Amino acid sequence: MSKLLPSAPALPRLLVSVRDAAEAGLAAAAGADLVDAKDPARGALGALAPEMVRAIVAEIRGRALTSAVAGEPGEGEALARCVAAMAGTGVDYVKVALTPALRAEPEALAAAARAAPQRLIAVLFAEDALRPEDPARLAAAGFVGAMIDTAGKDGRRLPDLLDVARRDAFTQACRACGLVSGLAGSLRVEDIPLLADHRPGYLGFRGGLCAGNRRTDALDPARIAAAAAAIRALARRDAA
């Protein structure tokens, strides 16, 4: 597997968020391309302790790409500190939430990108104001990717909050800037064909791959395998 996510992929990769090393091993074995360290009990983008993230990286041993959530910092100085803490764990990518205010601070964005060179992905929430210029600003600051997620885990899903045109505009803007793009937010396996048409770098899952669709429950390896199979099926569809 390539060590880098492509900015203009033919098919998206499958990101699965995990909360410990045992889930990480399960996700990789079931077909996850990108194993993402996150604490689902701490909100949309809760960070795990660096020690746990190191254990997840050790468990994966190169079988998949890895990423870790650095949290939801509210101001610029905290942004760089959070990123640096996760960058030191050895993950391939660091993900961090950016408020609309932080997205307008070029110096804070650049400092965060320097804390994880060529490894930092911005997480923008669908509930916030998404601006057309956001991808270009992030690329200029040194980020390698940007994704959209949902902040409120209240049953509303990404397709409910962002229509086709806005999702497509985001992924197109990312490709134009050379950024990897991601789409997530209470997604289900049946969303894969629709969202793959936007050509994101990856599609992110947690709750939809857990028992009972509850993000704080255990991951279900059969659901992970079904998601991986759904992405593979797109290649056969496109070749037909």
Please identify every residue annotated as catalytic. Answer: 38, 95
* Vertex 143 angle, CA 140 and 121, to 5°: 150
Alpha-carbon 160 to chain mean position: 19
CB 216 within 8 A of CB 20: no
Task: Supply 67's token pair.
Answer: 């990423």
Q: How buried is 187 (Cβ within 10 angstroms: 0-12 exposed, 13-18 middle, 19+ buried)?
A: buried
- Mark residue 185 as left, alpha or beta (left: phi above 0; alpha: psi -120 to 50; beta: remaining): left
User: What is 162-190 written as a DSSP string?
Assistant: S-HHHHHHHHHHHHHHT-EEEEESS--GG
